[in-house]
A and B are shown apart, each in its own frame.
Chain A
Amino acid sequence: MSSIQTIPMSESDLIVRRIKNGTVIDHIESGKGLKVLNALGIDGRDGNVITIALNVPSSKVAKKDIIKVENKFLQDTDTNKLALIAPKATVNIIQDYKLVEKRRVALPNQIERIFRCSNPDCITNSDEEIQPIMDVVDKTGLVLRCRYCTRTLDVNELKYY
């Protein structure tokens, strides 16, 4: 009769398993994980394993969300879309269980399809087939402008698309 082997595991190992290849988005503000998935257009239809952990205890902040996307190496053009949703997120690229790249998200020059224009009379809020695009006109002052109606937008009042 064989004895039961005990393998020591950390708390986070228990919650979300390590991935061999793919992208780990860490330090997402608690409660924003699902919005991050939506913003990145990740829906699991490609068959890759996606692990989402919400409200994970963290030493740096009280709680955080984590997303692991297996077999997909997200580019900065993808993850920079998160700069307004999860500005403190870190993006870790994993290859053969090893961390090969770690980066912070940064504001891109334009943000597509994530937020609605807050001007109700903007063409992007009509029935026309058109997706909202916001140009980042000032990265330091965080000024966004709708590509279509050209109004500047209050980033604190943006609604998700």
Chain B
Amino acid sequence: MSNSFFQKDIVSVRDFDKQKFETVFQATDKIIGMNQNERREIVRGKTLGYLFFEPSTRTRLSFEAAMASIGGTSLGIADASSSSAKKGESLADTVKIMSLYSDVLVLRHQLDGSSRFAAEISEKPLINAGSGTEEHPTQAILDLYTIRKEKKKIDGLKVGIVGDLKYGRTVYSLLYALSNYNVDVKLISPPSLKIRADSTYEIRKKLQYTETSDLEENLDDLDVIYVTRIQKERFADIEEYVKVRGSYKIGPELVNKIKDDAIIMHPLPRLDEISPEIDSTKQAKYFKQAQYGKDTRAALLALILNENGI
């Protein structure tokens, strides 16, 4: 029987349930446990094609590194201004061409719904690596894996999500993912950056969450503190950005107020919302999180490209 990920698109984390997450987590653990020679046989001869219409460091590099680690190769467009998109080629045509040259596609695009549309066009499975302010499903998968790995469980935890909750696509994917678990969520943001009501219809009944703008008062009982950057590039009015930039800064003083075994996560890149001074604290897990990003993406690619899984 083929595994349920084989040749399937990963467009939204809303298509996942607990069992699917567990399948990816177990595949990730298995890949981490393999020796290099074993790992490099997993997708030998397969090619990943990436199309990045928005800047990226971690996501693109981690996909490339993940593919290489399991024996595949990557090709693609890291900057849309160097592609025919600059000449006015449609996304549909660009995706169609890339799907002829590769076995799996990875797309990042500035428009909401772009991945769902591209997946309809692509002849090969497509992975959403960020679609506007809508979703970033592989980030949510690695976020959950980080929590599971570092806290040894997900159910029963208190999770605080801090920063730009209105425009942060990682936030929505994380909330959709967490709605499969029994967790207590605190959403901490400036009032103008609260989560969008039009993107939370399904999770309102499934997920227990409260909203606040006060960070300090809400830190002490959290098990997971997930910090996000306030994204200048998403604001139509720069004045609105100026009003909220630097709203939250986690430095040594605040770290002293959190639980000893709490973990601090961030999808990165960061600006000033997490001070480099706390990078060496035991609670700081954001670089480990980025490492898990490569491992979970390798697992996902392995499952998509191998009928029998790994």
What residues make up the interface of A, taking CB atoms closer than 8 Å to B?
119, 121-124, 126-130, 137, 143, 145-154
B156 → A minimal CB distance (Å): 29
In the complex, the answer to whether B201 meets A145 with C-beta atoms within 8 Å is yes
Count B interface residues, CB 8 Å: 22
In the complex, the answer to whether B134 meets A149 with C-beta atoms within 8 Å is yes
Minimal Cβ-Cβ distance residue in A for B111: A123
User: How many Å lie between the Cα of A137 and that of B204 in the bound state?
Assistant: 14
In the complex, the answer to whether A128 meets B117 with C-beta atoms within 8 Å is yes
In the complex, the answer to whether B112 meets A148 with C-beta atoms within 8 Å is yes
In the complex, the answer to whether A150 meets B117 with C-beta atoms within 8 Å is no
Q: Is B196 in contact with chain A by the CB < 8 A criterion?
A: yes
What residues make up the interface of B, taking CB atoms closer than 8 Å to A?
12, 14, 90-92, 109-114, 116-117, 132-135, 196-199, 201
In the complex, the answer to whether B199 meets A121 with C-beta atoms within 8 Å is no
- The 18 listed contacts between A and B (C-beta, < 8 Å) are A123-B112, A123-B117, A126-B111, A128-B92, A129-B92, A137-B201, A143-B201, A145-B201, A147-B113, A149-B112, A149-B134, A150-B113, A150-B116, A150-B134, A150-B135, A151-B112, A151-B198, A152-B198
Residues of chain A within 8 A (CB-CB) of B117 are 123, 128, 130, 148
In the complex, the answer to whether A150 meets B90 with C-beta atoms within 8 Å is no
Residues of chain A within 8 A (CB-CB) of B135 are 150
B90 → A minimal CB distance (Å): 6
Residues of chain B within 8 A (CB-CB) of A128 are 90-92, 117
User: How many Å lie between the Cα of A124 and that of B134 in the bound state?
Assistant: 14
Minimal Cβ-Cβ distance residue in A for B133: A121
Residues of chain B within 8 A (CB-CB) of A150 are 12, 14, 112-113, 116, 134-135, 199
A100 → B minimal CB distance (Å): 39
In the complex, the answer to whether A121 meets B201 with C-beta atoms within 8 Å is no
B218 → A minimal CB distance (Å): 28
Contact of B116 among A126, A127, A143, A147 (CB under 8 A): A147
4 A-B pairs besides A123-B116, A128-B117 with CB distance below 8 A are: A122-B112, A123-B114, A124-B113, A148-B117
Most-contacted residue by chain B among A121, A122, A137, A149 (CB, 10 A): A149
In the complex, the answer to whether A121 meets B111 with C-beta atoms within 8 Å is yes
Minimal Cβ-Cβ distance residue in A for B12: A150
Residues of chain A within 8 A (CB-CB) of B198 are 119, 151-154
In the complex, the answer to whether B201 meets A152 with C-beta atoms within 8 Å is yes
In the complex, the answer to whether A122 meets B111 with C-beta atoms within 8 Å is yes
Minimal Cβ-Cβ distance residue in A for B112: A149
Residues of chain B within 8 A (CB-CB) of A129 are 90, 92
Most-contacted residue by chain B among A121, A147, A152 (CB, 10 A): A121
Residues of chain B within 8 A (CB-CB) of A126 are 91, 111
Residues of chain B within 8 A (CB-CB) of A137 are 201
A129 → B minimal CB distance (Å): 6
Minimal Cβ-Cβ distance residue in B for A153: B198
Q: Which 5 A-B pairs have the closest CB atoms?
A: A148-B113, A149-B112, A149-B113, A123-B113, A151-B198
Residues of chain A within 8 A (CB-CB) of B132 are 121, 149
User: How many Å lie between the Cα of A129 and that of B91 in the bound state?
Assistant: 9
Residues of chain A within 8 A (CB-CB) of B12 are 150
User: How many Å lie between the Cα of A124 and that of B117 in the bound state?
Assistant: 9
Minimal Cβ-Cβ distance residue in B for A138: B201
Minimal Cβ-Cβ distance residue in A for B201: A152
A67 → B minimal CB distance (Å): 33
Residues of chain B within 8 A (CB-CB) of A143 are 201
